[in-house]
Amino acid sequence: MQSNAISRNYAEALLTLATKDGGRDSYGAYINGLADVLEHDAVFHRFLAAPQVSEGKKNEVLGKALGGQAPALFVRFLQKMVSNRRQMLLAEVAEEYNNLLDEQEGRVHARVTVSRTLNDADREALITSLSKALGKTVVPHVAVNPAILGGVIVRVGDTVMDGSVRRRLGVLRARMVK
């Protein structure tokens, strides 16, 4: 079984637990936080990856570190991942969890490129128009690129909507050359 399928299965299980516990967003925050620590803290990474450290010791340390802070169901889920030797898939499980949560809540992430920094009113207008056009709640990830000259480029999954001035000028130029 590929790690993608394994990660998705764990994410589905975590989402089920989070839904039963009434903490979908908080469980997401915990799994994202752990994935971030695993990626950026070399000591934690080595600890979880070390085959010399027993599964029992890893579970004990995680239980003590998270006990009282994270829900008991979440801690048990994490300990089960360690028992199954899947702890190094935390980042992939977190990504899959976020994707599943977005899918269930009707959210879509859009990479938006604009030519200048947006003020709050422009940002809200952009979110509103994109949400209306896509029929889902849009979570924009805005990047500024003055090279597009004006307009906006929106990427949602494999779909690209290019309303940039640079593209429009290129199309106009191609028509004039013909």
- At 158 the pLDDT is 86
Q: In Å, how far are 10, 113, 122 from 150, measured between CA atoms?
A: 43, 10, 14
Contact residues for 160 (Cβ-Cβ < 8 A; gap 6+): 153, 154
State how far the Cα of 57 lies from the Cα of 41, in Å rounded to an integer: 19
pLDDT in tens, 40-65: 999 999 999 999 999 999 999 999 99
Are both 88 and 42 inside the same structural domain?
A: yes
Are both 86 and 8 inside the same structural domain?
A: yes
- Using 50 as the pLDDT threshold, list the residues of the chain that sit under it: none
Are both 59 and 71 inside the same structural domain?
A: yes
Are both 37 and 78 inside the same structural domain?
A: yes
Q: What angle do CA 53, 59, 4 make, to 5 degrees?
A: 90
Range of the domain at 169: 106-177
Task: Quote the number of domains for the chain.
Answer: 2
Domain boundary among 76, 103, 130: 103
- At 121 the pLDDT is 92
pLDDT in tens, 82-96: 999 999 999 999 999
Predicted TM-score (pTM) of the model is 0.73
